[in-house]
Amino acid sequence: MDPTEADKLRKLARAVLETEARAITDLIPRIDGAFVAAAGHLLACSGRVVVLGMGKSGHIGGKIAATLASTGTPAFFVHPGEASHGDMGMIKPEDVVLALSNSGETDELTVLVPLLRRIGVPLVAMTGNPDSTLATAATVHLNVGVAQEACPLGLAPTSSTTAALAMGDALAVALLEARGFTQEDFARSHPGGALGRRLLLKIDDLMHTGPRMPQVSPDTPLRDALLEMTRKGLGLTAIVDANSQVAGIFTDGDLRRVLDHGATDVLNLPVSQFMTRQSKTIRANTLAAEALAVMQEKKINALLVTDDAGRLEGVLNMHDLLKARVM
């Protein structure tokens, strides 16, 4: 590309970001009594927040609804055109409606105002024109007007949609804090995400138990202990007494250390002579993320899972955490 053209593109892109940044900054003084009132209606809502918007405002509305829903405020998006053809039945008296329109004169929204009044739901309007039909009809109006669009033609919704999205984020985060919404609450809304796995998945969801759990008694010959390790494929075996009390652990690393010391004719000796006695253990109800932290801190690849009395309940290794995408 010609250097002059490249420089022109960079200048245009920077101008867009500067214009949109100013649009967001201009919203700060508007976090006022109207914002508090709007947040109050959403907090007091015993139903759901129903978000409405046409065109680009509809796309922003869908994102706001999703953000609200994932941060503790039940919400969903309804297309205003569909609302006029049956979907108004989705809106109940216990709901709150959040309607987005930059002009405040979108026909598909203004035609719904009398119907919303009849249902008796609070209407929070987010527009760029405080004197518009939608703004004046609303229970609460949030002014998201911008000085100019970032589009050079002043036509394509750019700064206006950015401002509306930012105001929606401000509402969602303010409500999150007011509700005392926690990381664990967020994880429950996102069980398939990385955060959900870290905050919800526990060791007993992943550990090897029963026949899959490698274990031998302290007097087991090293040869048989190695066979048990091979059969179970975890690179270790727990050493337990007759009451399932953990006496120690024997791992691939312990075997290497035995061989490094030049020991010979050891296969018939009891595994208790070579095991690690002070093995690190963990409880089954511990978060998998905590198990990962322990393994990383201790520089080990596996943990024995025990109950409060020190009895073996399961075995967990690093591969289990990798497969569960905890790390």
Res 190 pLDDT > 70: no
Best CA proximity match to 151, nearest among 268, 57, 247, 15 = 15
Burial string for 45-57 (b: 16+ CB within 10 Å, else e) reads: beebbbbbbbbbb
Angle at alpha carbon of residue 252, lines to 246 and 258, rounded to 5°: 95
**Shared domain check, 232 and 113:** no
The pLDDT tens digits for 129-163 are 999 999 999 999 999 999 999 887 776 889 999 99
**Shared domain check, 169 and 43:** yes
Is residue 197 included in any domain, yes or no?
no
Is the distance from CB of 318 to CB of 288 less than 8 angstroms? no
Average of per-residue pLDDT values in the chain? 88
**Shared domain check, 244 and 318:** yes
**Shared domain check, 29 and 168:** yes
**Shared domain check, 126 and 50:** yes
pLDDT at 146: 93
Is residue 190 included in any domain, yes or no?
no
Q: List phi, psi (to 5°) of 155.
A: -115, -50
pLDDT at 59: 96
C-beta atoms surrounding 72 within 10 Å: 19
**Shared domain check, 272 and 213:** yes
pLDDT at 96: 96
Is the distance from CB of 49 to CB of 68 less than 8 angstroms? yes
**Shared domain check, 111 and 211:** no
Domain with 314, as residue range(s), is 203-323
**Shared domain check, 171 and 80:** yes
Res 97 pLDDT > 70: yes
pLDDT at 153: 75
Residues in contact with 321: Cβ distance below 8 Å, sequence separation at least 6, in sequence order: 206, 288, 291, 292, 295, 327
Q: Tell me the β-bridge partners of 243.
A: none
Quick one: which H or E segment has residue 96? strand 96-101
The pLDDT tens digits for 31-66 are 999 999 999 999 999 999 999 999 999 999 999 999
How far is Cα of residue 321 from the mean position of the Cα atoms in its chain?
18
Best CA proximity match to 289, nearest among 203, 215, 207 = 203
Number of domains in the chain: 2
pLDDT at 185: 55
CA distance 52 to 125: 9
Is residue 60 included in any domain, yes or no?
yes
**Shared domain check, 105 and 62:** yes
Where residue 39 sits, what CATH number does that domain have? 3.40.50.10490
Where residue 237 sits, what CATH number does that domain have? 3.10.580.10
Is residue 196 included in any domain, yes or no?
no
Is the distance from CB of 84 to CB of 113 less than 8 angstroms? no
Higher pLDDT, 48 or 70: 48
**Percent above pLDDT 70 for the chain:** 91
Amino acid making up residue 158:
T
pLDDT at 193: 52
pLDDT at 290: 86
Best CA proximity match to 75, nearest among 50, 93, 58 = 50
**Shared domain check, 246 and 104:** no
Best CA proximity match to 214, nearest among 250, 167, 174 = 250
Instruction: Tell me the two tokens of residue 92.
Output: 């109940």
Res 256 pLDDT > 80: yes
